[in-house]
Amino acid sequence: MLTAENIRALKGTGKKVSMITAYDFAFAQMAEAAGVDQILVGDSLANTMLGYKSTREIGMTEMLIFVAAVCRGAPNTHVVADMPYRSDKDPQTAYDNAKRFMDLGAASVKLEGTPAGVIEYLRSKDIPVCAHLGLLPQTAENFKQKGKTEEEARAIEDAAKFVDSLGCFETVLEHIPEELGKKITGEVKSVTIGIGGGKFTDGHVLVMHDALGMHQKKLPPFATKFVDMYSLGVEGFRKYVESVKNEA
């Protein structure tokens, strides 16, 4: 399993880092079998697995169940546990929750933005932290690209340098201009993981349901569908129904 230190050491080697979301035992097994570098148990499970409209509608109760399942399914893969909305509201709360994830087998935690004192405190307790900048779904008013104005771009760049200085081993850059992703990647020591961050980031992450074509919704502009699992699943269910109906 790649540790946080192993992942950070990939910076500048030319070896891209692969990350995919997964939320349960079975798909974690598949991701590990495919050789993915990291599995993110994202709070996006609120939308993809539980049908909620916002990631703000779930908390630690739900996240702990899914993180545990993924850790059981992919024991040899670096599992990143997403800190749900308000679970990192202050340093002590963040540590208490992060430790619960680590005790389940997570290798690191991810948090959005730069909550005051939280990253510093987690790092002082030797908990590896993955930062998340750019579009921040937990607090975003809309899902338009961030960093298009000079002011926004500078704020994201400054935040990236800040979390890097605090010891984050990697930073997710979501839905920002490619040139901004390139600039930040060249300025920080940590690994940059793009999800709509352009081709110059050190690695990429996608939501499993987008990558595997598990729905019929319009994909985000930065997502790629590699297989059509929705159609395969419907066809499989249809064949099962037909076999039952036609049973002698």
CA dist., res. 136 & res. 66, Å (int): 21
152 is catalytic: no
Strand partners, 38: 19, 78
Select which of 174, 178, 187, 242 is catalytic: 174
Express each pLDDT in 23-70 by its tens digit.
999 999 999 999 999 999 999 999 999 999 999 999 999 999 999 999
Residue 71 has pLDDT above 80, yes or no: yes
182 confidence band (pLDDT: 50, 70, 90):
very high
pLDDT at position 141 is: 87
Domains defined along the chain, listed by start: 4-245 (3.20.20.60)
Residue 248 has pLDDT above 80, yes or no: no
Read off the pTM: 0.96
Buried b (16+ CB within 10 A) or exposed e, 172-195: bbbbbbeebbbbbbeebebbbbbb
Residue 174 has pLDDT above 90, yes or no: yes
CA dist., res. 102 & res. 82, Å (int): 11
116 confidence band (pLDDT: 50, 70, 90):
confident
